[in-house]
Amino acid sequence: MTGQPNSHSENRAYLPAMGKQWLLPLYDPFARFIGIGRVHEKLLERANLRPGQRVLEIGCGTGDLLRTLKRRHPEVDAQGIDPDPAALRRARRKAARGKVQIQYERAFADDLPLSDDSVDRVLSSFMLHHIDEADWVRVLSEVRRVLRPGGELHVADIDGSLPGHEGGHAHRSGRTGDSLPDRALSALVEAGLTGVRENGYGRARLGRYVFYRADVG
């Protein structure tokens, strides 16, 4: 199967990075304040990138992760998708100012405009909790489809759990509660990915976050 752009994507709803579209100008200052740059560095350290690989970021927002990637690995082919046209315009402007070559395209994570087995790495930074838990498997199945054999998925997201309840996790209300590690790991396995595991933790001003890793055997 080859993914095709959704003909109704122009009308699909999505959750903007800051929750409200008019708050987008605050996104980059907010990201710097909470220390997202350091999370990006840690995520890239885990991604095992090599020259000539093709890398896709789902939910790229205003493009900071891929700009960091291209500074560290200029020989990697980088592409980002996001449903928010305004965020993509900012990402393109920043790439142009930084003189880095990154392809950005408007798309949704459950309908990737890429061929089967066409990507070496898929990255996701604080995107998963923007998606309803009921849709996680569909999104991750698309990731599985576009990854080549031997390809890897690397995710950073809010932990969304509290210690001391229900075996170490208590469900919080709201979208962040959907990011419980056990639920994320279960969705990764159900989507057909292999080597699924938590790949480290960290803490920033936004709270505790977790890394996940999975691959295609």
CATH number of the domain encompassing residue 110 = 3.40.50.150
Task: Give CA–CA dist 190/127, Å, rounded.
Answer: 19
**Residue of higher predicted confidence among 152 and 179:** 152
Instruction: Give the confidence band of 14 by pLDDT, cuts at 50, 70, 90.
Output: confident
172 belongs to a structural domain = yes
Residue 130 domain flag: yes
Residue 4: inside a domain: no
Stronger pLDDT, 64 or 19, i.e. the higher one: 64
- Exposed / middle / buried, residue 75 (Cβ in 10 Å: 0-12, 13-18, 19+): exposed
How many structural domains comprise the chain?
1
The average confidence (pLDDT) of the chain is: 86
- 127 occurs within a structural domain: yes
User: How much is the pLDDT for 165?
Assistant: 32
Least confident of 59-63, 152-156, 159-163: 159-163
91 inside domain: yes
Residue 138 covered by a domain? yes
Q: Is residue 2 part of a domain?
A: no
pLDDT of residue 4: 41
Confidence band (pLDDT; 50, 70, 90) for 166? very low
pLDDT digits (tens, 9 = 90+) for 24-67: 878 888 888 889 999 999 999 999 999 999 999 999 999 999 99
**Domain range spanning residue 36?**
9-215
102 domain residue, yes or no: yes
